[in-house]
């Protein structure tokens, strides 16, 4: 009887939250302090190569696990973004991403070459 009590007490100690190790997570904050161009994210997609693409109100960003590379609207660049404010993102075949703007405008981003194709306006 004495040994059963000791066994039960040991089992209870082993199952207590203090006896368990904390789970390892690889969470990383995304914010302007680490390079994101704007704190409001309107779309997020991970491509086939593992890059995370983010749509914001100040451009289109690619996160590679270490930092952000952001593309902004440039009125002189006819092959770039149609606007800085991006409504959402959509996935296409061949690792391409559709960029949806607020005025029913869209373009296509070629993720492997970082090129923006002119879209429908």
Position 33 in a domain? no
Report the number of distinct structural domains present in the chain: 1
56-112: pLDDT as tens digits: 999 999 999 888 999 999 999 888 888 888 888 988 888 888 888 876 666 777 666
Which of 10-19, 26-35, 56-65 has the lowest average pLDDT? 10-19
Q: What CATH number did the domain enclosing 54 receive?
A: 2.40.10
pLDDT of residue 97: 86
* Separation CA 95–CA 114 (nearest Å): 11
Beta-strand runs (E) in the chain: 41-46, 52-56, 59-63, 68-71, 86-91, 96-101, 106-110, 115-120
Position 113 in a domain? yes
Q: Domain span at residue 93?
A: 39-121
Position 21 in a domain? no
Position 43 in a domain? yes
CB atoms closer than 10 angstroms to residue 57: 16
Position 60 in a domain? yes
Position 92 in a domain? yes
Quick check: pTM over 0.85? no
């Amino acid at each position: 009887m004495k040994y059963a009590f000791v066994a039960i007490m040991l089992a209870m100690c082993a199952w207590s939250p203090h006896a368990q190790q904390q789970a390892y997570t690889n969470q990383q904050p995304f914010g302007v302090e680490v390079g994101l161009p704007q704190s409001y994210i309107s779309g997020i997609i991970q491509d086939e190569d593992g890059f995370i693409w983010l749509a914001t109100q100040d451009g289109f960003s690619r996160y590679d696990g270490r930092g952000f590379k952001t593309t902004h609207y440039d009125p002189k660049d006819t092959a770039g973004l149609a606007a800085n404010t991006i409504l959402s993102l959509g996935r296409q075949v061949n690792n391409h991403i559709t960029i949806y703007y607020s005025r029913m405008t869209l373009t296509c981003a070629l993720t492997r070459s970082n090129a923006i194709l002119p879209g429908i306006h």
